[in-house]
Each structure stands twice: as structure tokens, then as C-alpha cells.
Amino acid sequence: MYPRLKLARNLLRPDGVIFISIDDKEYDNLKKSVMKFLENKNFCWEHRLEIKIKTSKCRRSKVSTSKKEIEYVLAYQKSDTENKFFCHCIQVVKEAIHMRLMAEDIG
């Protein structure tokens, strides 16, 4: 994970933002990896999602079950200067998350 994050940071423009989606099992490792090359002041935003995942029906039971999984979306900016584009990015990500959750409820 670390080499890919480092490459992503190097490819960012000075006013760039990176969004990272990860499940709760790898959340702590991600935070540690990112802190190796980005300082805490570069952290911008975090969103925690609880997602219901439908599991397949058992042969004996006709009832389908679902389980909850937790995912995080984190955002880091390359520089700690004010980023006007960042607010727009957050809005787009929030809308994408909402659309994904709506699709899962329908499906």
C-alpha cells in the first residue's frame, strides 16, 4: 500500500487532493502509512460509512440476511494552503457515496 500512496502523492499537483476509500480492517494501517509521507496538517476530511451487504439465502432458509460493513473515505491535500477546489471535491464525493448507498438499497 505504501508505494502506491507515495506515488499518488508525487503525482498530485501542489493544490491536489487524494481521496482514499478503505474498510475498517485496514484503516489503522492506512493512517500510519499516510503519516509517513504526509503530515497531520494535510489531513482534510474523513467520512465513515456503514454499508449493509446482502448475503445469499441459505438452502434451508428462504430468508436472506445482511451484514454491516464499515468503510472510510479519507481525504488528504498535498499542501496545507487553502484549497478552493477541495469544497467542490467533497460535495462530489458525498453525492457519489449517496448514490452508491441508494443503489444498494434498491438492489
Taking only the tens place, the pLDDT of each residue in 24-66 is 888 888 888 887 777 777 887 788 887 777 666 556 666 666 7
Report the predicted TM-score, pTM, of the whole model to 2 decimal places. Answer: 0.66
- % of the chain at pLDDT higher than 70: 74
Question: What local confidence, expressed as pLDDT, does residue 106 receive?
Answer: 54
Q: What is the DSSP letter of 12?
A: S
Helix/strand/coil (H, E, C) string of 37-76?
A: HCCHHHEEEEEEEEEEEECCCCCCCCCCCEEEEEEEEEEE
Total Cβ atoms within 10 A of residue 77: 23
pLDDT of 83 over the 80 cut? no
